[in-house]
């Protein structure tokens, strides 16, 4: 990797990276062979960007988290380069916000979810800038950008409900648990399924069953904070990863966001209760004279530290709590599996 003074560097490099590339790349790679100029410090990066024209500027979000918006605004104002954010999964909500306005009007033009192997990262950057195949650095048009996002969604989202899929939520949980151990953060996992779901499919058909799944997905998403990750694990089973995110700004509706001072699982229990209330008051419309009613769920909660130290532990504990809730009569959520830990009985 070339870290020499940009003023004396005669090698032509059209991509500038701000931060530590190894933080977002998995597997082995030879940095000196990449057509990238690296600046670990932001001040150095701005000076370099002003002295030389770059096709794209890649920003490792975790390395410039302090004052990220102001720093991106400086880059946007003083360079014509495409700004691409290299984001880990737990940084995606913030990356989406920074890119949201699109068409060059946001603080960044696009983002890439990491970690990736180096060839995958190069391909992702190429798709957005046409740089990494020896072509002239022409920005991808809006149609291409939409196609790229659509392909990425297919890999990470459930096509029926629009929620994240099993693969995404497991990897997200692994990343956020790893970070939370270092930062003394809080992570709680809720796993739930829909009571008597097979009945809806058998009596009303699979199309009606799909509507039940979509309705449950919409309601749980509405009850959670925007940075909490909601996923469909498969069939009628869902998972939510509740976590602390001090970098995310408050929601536009003024509601209080979760912070490092929030109470896990106390606050999560409140959200779970709210979700069950929403289910109870939302009428279920299905075909036929007897197609009305309400949905109920059974679920289990498990937290980092209290119930496990890694993704497998926490998901397994939450899943066991879900099974205990089902065996005890359904329509309830247990905190790690014991009847006395029914969230409706916890003060």
pLDDT at 8 over 60: no
More confident residue, 242 or 104: 242
Element (H, E) at 84: strand 82-88
User: Where along the chain do its domains lie?
Assistant: 15-156, 166-341
State mean pLDDT over 72-83: 89
pLDDT at 135: 37
Asked if 19 contacts 36 with a C-beta cutoff of 8 angstroms, the reply is no
**Percentage of residues of the chain with pLDDT beyond 70:** 77
The model scores a pTM over 0.75: no
Which superfamily, per CATH, for 166-341? Reverse transcriptase/Diguanylate cyclase domain (3.30.70.270)
Element (H, E) at 180: helix 166-183
More confident residue, 186 or 260: 186
pLDDT at 138: 36
Asked if 112 contacts 105 with a C-beta cutoff of 8 angstroms, the reply is no
Rounded (10°) angle between helices 166-183 and 311-327: 120
Least confident window among 41-55, 73-87, 124-138, 192-206: 124-138
- Could you read off the pLDDT of 17-40 as tens digits, one per residue? 999 888 888 877 776 667 788 888
User: Which of the four pLDDT bands, split at 50, 70 and 90, describes residue 219?
Assistant: very high
Would you identify the CATH topology of the domain 15-156?
Rossmann fold (3.40.50)
pLDDT at 59 over 90: yes
pLDDT at 249: 47
pLDDT at 97: 85
What would the DSSP string read from start to end of 295-344? --EEEEEEETTTS-SSHHHHHHHHHHHHHHHHHTTSS-EEETT-GGGBTT
Element (H, E) at 187: strand 187-194
**Which letter, b or e, does each residue of 185-208 get, where b requires 16 or more Cβ atoms within 10 Å of its Cβ?**
bbbbbbbbbbbebeebbeebeeeb
- Could you read off the pLDDT of 159-172 as tens digits, one per residue? 999 999 999 999 89
């Amino acid at each position: 990797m070339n870290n020499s003074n940009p003023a004396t560097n005669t090698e032509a490099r059209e991509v500038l990276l701000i931060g530590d590339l190894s933080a977002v790349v998995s597997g082995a790679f030879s940095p000196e062979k990449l057509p990238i100029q690296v600046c670990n410090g932001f001040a150095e990066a701005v000076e370099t960007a002003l002295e030389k024209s770059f096709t794209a500027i890649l920003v490792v979000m975790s390395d410039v988290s302090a004052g990220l918006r102001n720093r991106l605004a400086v880059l946007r104002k003083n360079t014509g380069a495409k700004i691409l954010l290299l984001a880990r999964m737990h940084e995606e909500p913030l990356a989406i916000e920074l890119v949201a306005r699109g068409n060059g009007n946001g603080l960044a033009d696009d983002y890439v979810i990491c970690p990736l192997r180096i060839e995958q990262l190069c391909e992702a950057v190429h798709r957005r800038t046409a740089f990494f195949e020896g072509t002239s650095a022409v920005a991808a048009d809006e149609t291409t950008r939409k196609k790229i996002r659509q392909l990425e969604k297919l890999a990470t989202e459930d096509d029926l409900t629009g929620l994240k899929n099993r693969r995404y939520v497991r990897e997200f949980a692994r990343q956020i648990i790893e970070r939370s151990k270092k930062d003394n953060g809080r992570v709680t996992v809720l796993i739930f399924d829909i009571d008597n779901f097979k009945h809806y499919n058998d009596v009303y058909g699979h199309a009606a069953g799909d509507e039940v799944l979509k309705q449950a997905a919409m309601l749980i998403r509405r009850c959670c904070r925007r940075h909490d990750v909601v996923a469909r694990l498969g069939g009628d089973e869902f998972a939510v990863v509740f976590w602390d995110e001090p970098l995310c700004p408050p929601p536009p509706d003024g509601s209080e966001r979760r912070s490092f001072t929030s109470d896990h699982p106390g606050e999560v229990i409140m959200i779970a209760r709210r979700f069950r209330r929403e289910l109870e008051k939302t009428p279920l419309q299905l075909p036929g004279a007897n197609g009305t009613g309400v949905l109920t769920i059974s679920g289990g909660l498990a937290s980092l530290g209290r119930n496990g130290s890694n993704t497998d532990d926490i998901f397994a504990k939450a899943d066991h709590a879900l099974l205990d809730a089902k065996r005890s009569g359904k329509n309830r959520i247990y905190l790690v599996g014991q009847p006395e830990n029914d969230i409706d009985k916890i003060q």
